[in-house]
């Protein structure tokens, strides 16, 4: 049955939203929504995919966990994936979980290991010959971040195991967290020193563990409890998980004292109820209870679904809520131009914290929940960074309550606000000028695939903006060695190198320049398409939306973004400042009819490391010959170019029978493509 288009669009939007919040939570340690709201998004997507199986895709967030590892740490491939857990939100969910596993196992006399669900950072610790040799974060479940040096600073984690009988090599898994008392003391010290306090213990733990300087980690009050294992010799495992944990405890591995074995789902629920009543008295933050089948043989029988084991579930506590009143609704402009309505609340205590602000996410959410200035509302916190308004209480609404209207001009810079049909988030279109977006705009402008200004990193951008040396990207070209040499950690040699890199960037290409402007949804490929279609900047600037859509693969949404960007006076001022600073490029070469190019209609995937050219250069070569360079392998791929360490893309290509080219064969094909493409059935070339 065909999936209705509105359903397909909603699923796509949910995937984008969830991936965005995954990155904010797991990678940046800076979540924007509550756990409850995240769970709601995930449950909605799961329901859509169950109802419409055609929507399921390997890259859906329902099929994976977390977010990619941060670039600051070396990557670690988990020998056994670190999966997430499915969630139960009610007694009915718990009964359904019990019924499913009982039916699969054919019996109901089941024992469960139960323990608190800690609110910290999941880690994997590998021991070899009794010594700690590696520690990693969960990352995306397949690949994490190497944090061995930082983990070694935690006194609670044994560097050498006690006793004897441990396997030659094995892996334990657990949660690094910050106890409540340590969190309070850490924030008190930060405030006394005039520094920013952490929002909650989870963020404090994650930020502490992922410090680039392990000496900082060593000063933080971190703790750890083991909850299980990953890689472990099967022949050395006992019969039950509880026996494994007892064994770990004798080796000096910390185990939560609240861990127990219970019989049946009724005792699971009794444990949940008891822990919920004692939640505030516990020395650490928890957001629920975890139940796991105790018998390891039963676990083997049940197995896994895509992102979670069938034999375990997390029973989430209800979010903490309170009632207050909306005093005003303001609009904040984020670093990427997103406009977010924020409720200014009459102060109210939620979970022991005074709340005065709550996110409303977007205008659609405000109207869906019918939240008005003056309304009585229910606010939920649940230990998260930013509380949210759950719903309004219309029965308590005063006569003078006023509706919220999203502004049409950006509150930060006055540029037009873009509200694209089908998109929930409104955005400022003054990306080159808007002060709320300055940092992101400068970082993107200077990035390697844009203007390629080497040495202009995050911290230096912050200093340049904070000291007022730059306001927009055009100001970069007014910098001198004398102006920047006095900045923190920037000696005269480094300052000279930076100015030289800025000067070198004045000569670029039109596609790179268009990409550097940061126009919404104009990536490298789209920038190249626009440059090839319109040939020069003036023609592109004056094109209307209909004319923009005459370019290949430029639809109405991208056309609207480009058109709107070039209609903002402030953007044009910055653009002119860049041109006045001497940025220039060679004229675009004469167009060749697409059908005359030898790679027209052919799709290549570049994977691994090539010797003589970068992956970007290889993609550019494919494009120059009329072909398409895709990022993933599919049945529509014609060739995969494999360099060193090609990874899963090579495996998939071989499974699909797609021709694989080594670097020499690829370059030979680029030099003489006609003979290969005259064959109706291409054959594999190279190794």
CATH code assigned at 21: 1.10.287.610
> 451-472 pLDDT, tens per residue?
999 989 888 998 999 999 999 9
Mean pLDDT score of the chain: 87
How far apart (Å, rounded) are the C-alpha atoms in residues 564 and 568? 7
Query: Which positions ≥6 away from 686 have C-beta within 8 Å?
Result: 660, 661, 662, 663, 664, 665, 666
At 28 the pLDDT is 59
Q: For residue 74, tell me if it sits in a domain.
A: no
Could you report the per-residue pLDDT of 343-402, keeping only the tens digit for each? 999 998 776 678 899 988 888 889 888 999 999 998 887 544 568 888 898 988 999 999
Kindly state whether residues 281 and 140 are assigned to the same domain. Answer: yes
3-class DSSP assignment, residue 605: strand
Mean pLDDT of 120-149: 92
Reply yes or no on whether the pLDDT at 91 is more than 90. Answer: no
Calculate the CA 623 to chain-centre distance.
29
CB 134 within 8 A of CB 146: yes
Domain presence at residue 465: yes
Q: State the pLDDT at residue 58.
A: 60
What CATH number is associated with residue 440?
Answer: 1.10.150.20
pLDDT single digits (tens) 236-262? 999 999 999 999 999 999 999 999 999
Contact 34/382 with Cβ under 8 angstroms? yes
Q: CA angle, 642 as apex, 637 and 644 as ends, to 5°?
A: 155
Q: What is the pLDDT of residue 609?
A: 86
Q: pLDDT-derived band of residue 66, with 50, 70 and 90 as boundaries?
A: very low
The answer to the question of residue 685 being in a domain is: no
- Going by C-alpha positions, the residue among 546, 548, 519 that lies closest to residue 533 is 548
Report DSSP state, residue 107. Answer: -
Cα–Cα dist 79/613, whole Å: 32
Q: What is the CA radius of gyration of the chain?
A: 28
Q: Do 309 and 332 fall within a single domain?
A: no
Residue 325 counted as domain residue:
yes
In this structure, the answer to whether residues 350 and 220 fall within a common structural domain is no
Select the highest-mean-pLDDT range: 198-202, 264-268, 665-669: 264-268
Mark whether 202 and 100 lie in a shared domain: yes
pLDDT of residue 68: 53
pLDDT at residue 308 is higher than 60:
yes
Same domain, 566 and 439: yes
Paired strand residues for 605: 630, 640
DSSP state of 256: -
Domains of the chain: total: 5
Tell me, yes or no, whether 598 and 568 share the same domain: no
pLDDT of residue 67: 46
Token output for 474 = 């055009």
Give the largest Cα separation in the chain, rounded. Answer: 79
Q: Which of residues 498 and 37 earns the better pLDDT score?
A: 498
Host H or E run for residue 358: strand 353-359
Beta-bridged to residue 345, according to DSSP, are: 326
pLDDT digits (tens, 9 = 90+) for 532-587: 889 999 999 999 999 999 988 788 888 999 999 999 999 999 999 999 999 999 98
CA 687 – CA 685 distance, rounded (Å): 7
Of 558, 585, 612, which one is at a domain's C-terminal end?
A: 585
Q: Is residue 221 in some structural domain?
A: yes
Reference 511, options 495, 498, 494, 526; nearest CA is 526
Q: State whether 111 and 258 are in the same domain.
A: yes
199, 249: one domain:
yes
29 — pLDDT class (breaks 50, 70, 90): low
Q: In this structure, are 355 and 377 located in the same domain?
A: yes
Return the H-helix or E-strand segment holding 451: none
Q: Quick one: the chain helix, strand, coil %, rounded to 5?
A: 40, 20, 40
Residue 121: CATH number of its domain: 3.30.470.30
- More confident of the two residues 680 and 484: 484
User: Per residue in 586-626, pLDDT tens?
Assistant: 988 766 555 567 888 889 999 988 888 777 778 878 877 87
176 within a domain of the structure (yes/no): yes
Domain boundary, last residue among 341, 361, 396: 396
Nearest-CA neighbor of 669 among 601, 604, 592, 596?
Answer: 604
Domain range enclosing 626: 594-677
Among 268, 299, 315, the domain boundary falls at 315
CB-side exposure of 171: number of CA atoms within 13 Å?
18
Q: Which residue carries 């903002």 as its tokens?
A: 568
The first and second tokens of residue 34, run together, are 């509550």
Residues identified as active-site: 117
Residue 131's pLDDT is 92
* pLDDT computed for residue 2 by the predictor: 78
pLDDT at residue 363, rounded to an integer: 87
Hey, which of 147-156, 293-302, 590-599 has the most confident mean pLDDT? 293-302
């Amino acid at each position: 049955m065909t999936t209705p288009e509105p359903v397909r669009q909603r699923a796509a939007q949910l995937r984008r939203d969830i991936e965005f919040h995954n990155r904010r939570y797991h990678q940046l340690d800076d979540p924007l929504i509550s756990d409850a709201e995240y769970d709601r998004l995930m449950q909605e997507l799961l329901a859509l995919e169950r109802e419409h199986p055609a929507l399921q895709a390997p890259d859906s967030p329902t099929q994976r966990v977390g977010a990619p590892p941060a670039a600051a740490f070396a990557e670690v491939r988990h020998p056994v994936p670190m999966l997430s857990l499915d969630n139960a939100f009610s007694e009915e969910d718990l009964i359904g979980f019990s019924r499913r596993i009982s039916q699969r196992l054919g019996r109901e006399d089941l024992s469960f290991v139960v323990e608190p669900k800690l609110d910290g950072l999941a880690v994997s610790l590998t021991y070899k010959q009794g010594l700690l040799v590696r520690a990693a974060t969960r990352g995306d479940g397949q690949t994490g971040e190497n944090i061995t040096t930082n983990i070694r600073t935690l006194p609670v984690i044994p560097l050498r195991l006690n006793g004897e009988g441990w396997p030659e090599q094995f892996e334990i898994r657990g949660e690094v967290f910050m106890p409540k008392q340590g969190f309070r003391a850490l924030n008190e010290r930060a405030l006394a020193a005039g520094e920013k306090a952490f929002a909650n213990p989870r963020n404090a733990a994650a930020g502490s563990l992922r410090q680039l300087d392990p000496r900082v980690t060593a000063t933080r009050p971190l703790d750890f409890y083991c909850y299980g294992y990953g890689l472990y010799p099967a022949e050395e495992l006992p019969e039950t998980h509880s026996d494994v944990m007892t064994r770990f405890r004798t080796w000096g591995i910390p185990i939560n004292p609240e861990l127990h074995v219970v019989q049946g789902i009724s005792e699971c629920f009794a444990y949940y109820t008891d822990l919920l009543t004692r939640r505030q008295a516990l020395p650490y933050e928890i957001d629920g209870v975890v139940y796991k089948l105790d018998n390891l043989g039963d676990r083997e029988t049940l197995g896994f679904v895509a992102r979670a084991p069938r034999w375990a579930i997390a029973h989430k506590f209800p979010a903490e809520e309170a009632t207050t009143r909306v005093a005003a609704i303001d609009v904040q402009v984020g670093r990427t131009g997103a406009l977010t309505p924020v409720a200014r609340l009459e102060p109210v205590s939620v979970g022991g914290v005074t709340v005065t602000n709550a996110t409303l996410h977007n205008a659609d959410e405000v109207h869906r929940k019918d939240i008005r200035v003056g309304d009585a509302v229910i606010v939920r916190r649940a230990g998260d960074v930013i509380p949210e308004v759950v719903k309004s209480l219309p029965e308590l609404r005063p006569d003078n309550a006023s509706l919220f209207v999203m502004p049409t001009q950006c509150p930060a810079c006055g540029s037009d606000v873009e509200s694209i049909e089908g998109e929930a988030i409104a955005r400022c279109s003054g990306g080159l000028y808007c002060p709320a977006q300055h940092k992101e705009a400068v970082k993107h402008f200077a990035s390697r695939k844009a203007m390629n200004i080497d040495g202009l990193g995050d911290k230096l951008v912050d200093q340049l903006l904070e000291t007022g040396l730059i306001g927009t990207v055009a100001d970069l070209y007014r910098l001198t060695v004398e102006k920047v040499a006095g900045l923190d950690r920037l000696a005269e040699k480094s300052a000279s190198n930076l100015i030289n890199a800025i000067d070198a960037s004045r000569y670029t290409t039109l596609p790179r320049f268009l990409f550097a402007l940061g126009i919404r949804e104009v990536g490298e490929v789209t920038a190249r398409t626009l440059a090839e279609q319109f040939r020069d900047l003036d023609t592109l600037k004056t094109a209307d939306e209909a004319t923009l859509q005459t370019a290949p693969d430029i639809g109405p949404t991208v056309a609207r973004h480009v058109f709107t960007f070039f209609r903002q006076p402030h953007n044009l001022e910055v653009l002119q400042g860049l041109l006045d600073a001497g940025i220039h490029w060679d004229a675009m070469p004469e167009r060749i009819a697409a059908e005359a190019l030898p790679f027209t209609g052919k799709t290549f995937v570049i994977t691994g490391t090539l010797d003589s050219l970068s992956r970007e250069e290889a993609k550019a070569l494919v494009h120059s010959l009329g072909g398409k360079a895709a990022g993933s392998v599919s049945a529509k791929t014609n060739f995969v170019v494999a360099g060193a360490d090609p990874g899963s893309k090579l495996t998939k290509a071989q499974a699909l029978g797609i021709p694989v080219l080594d670097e020499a064969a690829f370059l030979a094909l680029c030099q003489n493509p006609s003979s290969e493409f005259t064959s109706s059935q291409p054959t594999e070339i190279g190794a």
